[in-house]
Amino acid sequence: MIFTSKEKSAIISTLSAIMKADGSVDDREQKLLDDIFRKFAITLEEYKTSVRMTKAECRQIYNEMPEDKQEQVQRYLLEMAGVDDKVDLRELRAIREMM
């Protein structure tokens, strides 16, 4: 699936928020984020944009995506929440805030 630059930035921003939501970053979470960076071929500019994005901006971008993209993003977010074998309520809250 091909995401726009803006969509990729919103996804990376939200994945980063989920990764940090429980107060610790597991090596598996960092590896997943690194894998998605490579898969998306994230540019330095897209990364910088993702760091500056607000939750509201991410949510707006997500809501403007077609349904098939939204479903794929949901899979990425849920994968990040569970990659360390424990899903924290703060991680679920971060996912809910995007949607």
64: domain CATH number? 1.10.3680.10
Give yes or no for a contact between 46 and 5, defined as CB atoms under 8 angstroms apart. Answer: yes
pTM for the structure as a whole: 0.89
pLDDT at 71: 95
Give yes or no for a contact between 14 and 99, defined as CB atoms under 8 angstroms apart. Answer: no
pLDDT at 60: 96
pLDDT along the chain (99 residues), means of 10: 93 91 89 93 88 93 96 94 89 84
Report how far apart, in Å, the C-alpha atoms of 48 and of each of 16, 55, 81, 91 are: 13, 15, 23, 22
Say how many domains are in the chain.
Answer: 1
CB hemisphere CA count around 7 (13 angstroms): 16
Q: Domain range spanning residue 52? A: 5-98
Longest dimension (CA), the chain: 33
What phi and psi values does residue 83 have, to the nearest 5 degrees? -65, -25
Q: What SS3 class is residue 57?
A: helix
